[in-house]
Amino acid sequence: MYAYGWTGDATPDDAALYEVSEIGVVALRSVHDTRYQFGSIYNAIYPASGTSIDWSYSAGVVHTYTLELRDTGSNGFLLPATEIVPTGQETWTGLVAAIMAI
């Protein structure tokens, strides 16, 4: 996910942020078929003010992103040990693809 979290308004760089996110998510999905949502924080999950992503973006860092773990609501941020390696595998693949796209 990327800026903004505090408003539903798109950033001036929304198209580029969306494109890089999509590339990363498609690559991530290719590993274990895990489906991630992406877009601005505000639109992908919920309004969230005061995020480091918004701060970084406002400071001039265009490509600032945040990831959340693969849980679908049952474990929250405390994934079982069996989820650690698959999460790392798919996240790494997604990050490499996104970095190469940038």
Residues designated as active site: 68
48 by Cβ neighbours in 10 Å (0-12 / 13-18 / 19+) ranks as: middle
Q: How many CA atoms lie within 13 A of 17 on its CB side?
A: 22
Gap between the Cα atoms of 36 and 25, Å rounded = 6
Question: What's the DSSP call for residue 37?
Answer: -
